[in-house]
Structure 1
Amino acid sequence: MQCKPVDDEPFQQTPPPFDPSTSPSLVPENPMSPFCSNPTWPSAKCHFDANGEDNSSATGFLVRDTFAFGSSEVPGYLFGCAHRTEGFQSHGVLAGVLSLGKRDGSLPMELLGKRGVHRFSYCLPPGAAVAGPPRVYLVRMVGVSVAGRRLPGIDAGTFAESRYGGGTVIDLGTATMVMVEAAYRALERAVDEHVKHLRLARVSYGGYVFCLRLGGGGANNKDDDVWEHLPTVTLHLNDDEPGVELLLRPQQMFVAVAVDTRFTFDLMEGAVYFAPEQCHLDSAASGSGHD
C-alpha cells in the first residue's frame, strides 16, 4: 500500500496514504528475510521492488503490522509500504493491491496455510483445475462467444500454454483483461458489429483503442438504454467439461469483469470455482452482524 513519505507525485486514494509513524505495532521486516530485495545501506532496511503485468510498479520497504479483517485481528502481517509507484490505477480510491497469488507472502499463503486452511473465496460488489507457476492461477480457456455466438477461429490452441509462454492466467492484481492479439481482434470485430446500429462514437482513451462514448446522441442516447443493447461475452473453459464458462454481462465486460461473481480457489485440490452472486448482500450481512 502507499505510505508516507511519498516520493514524487502520489496517486489519489481514500483515505490518505498510510503513515507508518502512527502505528505503535508496526515493525520493519528483518533485512535478512527471503522476501527482501537487496538491502539498502547504510540503513539495511528490507527493500522491495514489485512489477505488475499491467506495467505498474512499486518500490519501498517491507514491514509487519496488525491487520483487522472484520472482527478478527492478525498480528505481524507482512506487507509492502510503497514510497514510489508508477502506473497504478487507483481510480482515486484504492490504496494498494491485495496479493492473493500462490507465492510465499501472499494473503492465502501467509494466513490460510499456517492455519491448515486451503480454500478461500472473494466476491466483489458493483462499483468496486489450477496449475502453473507458483505465483499465478492458470486455467484452460478454449473459446469466446459474443451475444451467445461462438467466435470462429478461436479454439483451445489460441490460448494454449507452451514452452514459449501462453496459457490463461487469473491475475488477481491486474485491473485489465489482456488477450493474445488474434483473439482480441476477433472479439473487437464481433462487438463492433453488434453495436454498430447504436451509432455511438468510437474513441481511444487512456491507451485503449476500442471505446464507445455513451450519451453521444446516437440511436439510443440514454446510458441505461445503451447497456440493454451491448452484448454479453462468454469465456469458455475446459472442453472436457461442457458448460464450464464465465458469462460476462455488459456491465461487467465494459466496466469491471469480476463484480457480482463469487470466485473460490481450492489450493489443495488445484481447482477454481465461480458462480454469479449478488455480492453487495455479503457486505450488508456483514454490516448487520450476520455470518
Structure 2
Amino acid sequence: MMYAVMVGIGTGHQSKSYKLALDMATGLTWMQCAPCHPCLRQYNPVFDPTQSPTFHHVSANDGILCHALYKPHQNGMCGFEVGFLSSHGSASGVLAKDTFSFPKSGHEVRFELLPGMVFGCAHHTEHFNTHEVLAGVLGLGMWKSSKPPTFFTKQINQGEGVRFSYCPFPPGMSTYNFLRFGNDIPSHPLPNVHRQSTPILMPAQANDGYYVKLTGVSVGGIRVSSVTPEMFRRGARGKGGCVIDIGTKMSVFVNEAYIHIESAVRHYLQIHGAQPVQLHGHHLCVHKSSAHRDVLPSMTLHFDNNAGLRVMPEHVFLEIVHANIHYMCIAFFPSLELTVIGARQQINHRFIFDLHARTPTISFNPENCHLDAGTQS
C-alpha cells in the first residue's frame, strides 16, 4: 500500500506528469532527472531538464537556498542528498527550480500552476522502490526556521500558514482522490460527524515529521491501562515520540507499548472465541473463518486535547494468505524508539494539517474517502 500524488513538472511541449510518493518525514521534493545512473523504471519517461524552458539550476552562490542541508559544487551548482530510513537508500543530485502543476478538482480539466518551485533533480538513486511508477518524492515535512526555504510546505505558504488535507481510501480501488489545499478543503464534515483536533509539536532536529502527543490506546473500547503517555514522549535529544505519516504503510508502536497492546488484542480475541495462531513473519493472527467482524476488535488512539482516532477492525488487521489458508493478522508492528501512525490506520478518515504559525494542529474525522475520488482513466 502506497499513496502518491500526480504532479506536472516543467513547461513546454515535453511537459509531463509524474507520480511522487507522499513523504511527511522530509521537506524536500525530489525526482529522477536525466542523465541518471541508474535510471529506475517509472510512470512516464524520466524528466529531461533540457526540454523545459522554465528549468533553472540553483546556484552554489545562493546564500538563501544553498546552505545548511545542501553543499555547493565546484561546477557552480548546489548539491543535495537525502536518505531513506526504511530502505537505507539515498538520492543525490542538484537543486533546481521549475513550474509545478496540480490538477484541480471539478468536472473541468484545470491546473494550478506554481512557478519557480525548488526541488531536487536526482541523478543517482540507491534502494528507492519506484514500484515501477514513482519518479520521486513529494516532501510534505514541516518546515522550521532553522532550515532553508526549500520545503514544499514553506514554498506554498503565502504568509498566512499552510493547510493541506487528504482522505485515504482502502487499497485496491481503481480510483484516485485529492491532496487538497487551502479553501479546497471541506470546511465541515457531514452532519452528525465529529471533527477532532490535536496540537502539532515542533519537529525534531533530525526528522521533519508531524509529532503529536499520543496519550493512550484502547482495544475493543477498553483503555489499555498499562500503556501510558510516558511511553510516547519525545526525549530531550529528539528521540522517541509519535508522528503521523501517510508515507508509512502500517503503524509501529514503541516496543514498551506494543507488548501491552498486542496482549490486549490477544485477550480480546480469546474471550470472543478466536484462537490465535502462529504464522511466520507475523506477530498475532487468527484463521479468517473465525474472524467475523464482531470477533475482531477496533482500536482507538488517544491524543492530546481529548481527541480519539477510532480504527475499525478491518484496518487493525490485515488479511494474509499462506499455503492457501486465509488469516487475519494485526497490521502494526513493534519499533525500537519511534511510534508512527501509518496509512492503514488512517483509512476512511479525513486529515487536515493546519500549519498556522501560532497553533499548528491536525484535525481528523471519519469519512467515506471513496466519495472524494475520481475514476482512473
Q: TM-score range by the shorter chain?
A: 0.7 to 0.9
- 1:142 matched to 2:215? The reply is yes
Higher relative contact order (CA 8 A, sep 6+): 2
Query: CA shift at 1:198, angstroms?
Result: 6.0
Q: 8 Å contact 1:6–1:84 — kept in the other structure?
A: yes
In 2, distance between residues paired with 1:189 and 1:9? 46
**2:297 is the alignment partner of 1:265:** no
8 Å Cα contact 1:145-1:235 kept in structure 2: yes
Correspondence for 2:153: 108
Q: CA 1:180/1:87 → structure 2, altered by over 3 Å: closer, same or farther?
A: farther
Report the Cα offset of residue 48 of structure 1. 0.8
Q: Is the 8 A contact 1:199 1:219 kept in 2?
A: no
SS in 2 for 1:67: strand
Q: 275-284 or 154-163, which moves further after superposition?
A: 275-284
Provide the rounded CA distance (Å) in 2 between the counterparts of 1:99 and 1:159.
25
**Residue of structure 1 aligned with 2:311, choices 242, 248, 252:** 248
What residue is the counterpart of 1:5 in the other structure? 35
CA separation in 1, counterparts of 2:36 and 2:293? 40
Mapped to 2, the partners of 1:228 and 1:20 lie a distance apart of 55
1:181-260 alignment runs, 5 A limit:
181-194=255-268, 197=274, 202-204=279-281, 209-210=282-283, 218=287, 220=289, 229-238=295-304, 241-242=305-306, 244-253=307-316, 254=331, 256-260=344-348
TM-score (normalizing by structure 2): 0.61
Alpha-carbon distance in structure 1 between the residues aligned to 2:372 and 2:278: 38
Superposed displacement of residue 173, structure 1: 4.6
Give the TM-score normalised by structure 1. 0.77
Q: Which is strand-richer, 1 or 2?
A: 2
Please report how far the alpha carbon of residue 160 of structure 1 lies from its aligned counterpart in structure 2 after TM superposition.
Answer: 1.6
- The Cα of 1:180 is off from its aligned counterpart by 1.5
Which structure shows the higher helix fraction? Answer: 1
Alpha-carbon distance between aligned partners in 2 of 1:75 and 1:161, rounded to the nearest angstrom: 38
Shift of 1:170: 2.6
Identity percentage of aligned residues:
34
1:258 and 1:4, CA in 2 relative to 1: closer, same or farther beyond 3 A? farther
The Cα shift of 1:226 comes to: 6.6
Offset at 1:176? 4.6
- CA distance in structure 2 between the partners assigned to 1:195 and 1:4 by the alignment: 53
2:266–2:276 CA contact under 8 A, matched in 1: no
Range with greater deviation from structure 2 (68-77 or 49-58): 49-58
Q: 1:23 aligns with which of 48, 52, 72?
A: 52
Which blocks of at least 5 consecutive residues in structure 2 are unaligned? Answer: 1-30, 104-110, 144-148, 177-198, 317-330, 332-342
**1:275 and 2:365 matched:** yes
After superposition, the Cα gap between the structure-2 partners of 1:227 and 1:106, relative to the gap in structure 1 and judged at 3 Å, is: farther
Residues matched between the structures, number? 269
d(CA) in 1 for partners of 2:314 and 2:150? Answer: 33
Query: What is the Cα deviation at residue 155 of structure 1?
Result: 1.0
In the other structure, the counterpart of 1:74 is 114
User: Among residues 95, 120, 125, which one is paired with 2:169 in the alignment?
Assistant: 125
Q: Report if the CA contact (8 A) 2:262-2:284 is conserved.
A: no
Moved more, 57-66 or 190-199: 190-199
CA offsets 1:81-131 (integer angstroms, 9 cap, x no match)? 2233344344443332222222132222101x2353432222233338112
> 1:31 aligns to what SS in structure 2?
coil
Q: Is the 8 A contact 1:141 1:235 kept in 2?
A: yes
Q: Hey, what's the Cα distance between the residues in 1 that align with 2:262 and 2:33?
A: 39
**Number of the residue aligned with 2:71:** 38
Distance 2:166 2:102 in 1: 13
Report the 3-state secondary structure (helix = DSSP H, G, I; strand = E; otherwise coil) of the residue aligned with 1:114.
Answer: coil
Please give the alpha-carbon distance, in whole angstroms, between the structure 2 residues aligned to 1:82 and 1:226.
Answer: 48
Query: 2: CA distance between counterparts of 1:86 and 1:226?
Result: 43
RMSD: 3.2
CA–CA separation in structure 1 for the residues paired with 2:283 and 2:65: 39
Whether the aligned pair in 2 keeps the contact of 1:108 and 1:120 (CA below 8 Å) is: no
Q: Is the 1:30–1:45 contact (alpha carbons within 8 Å) kept by the matching residues of 2?
A: yes
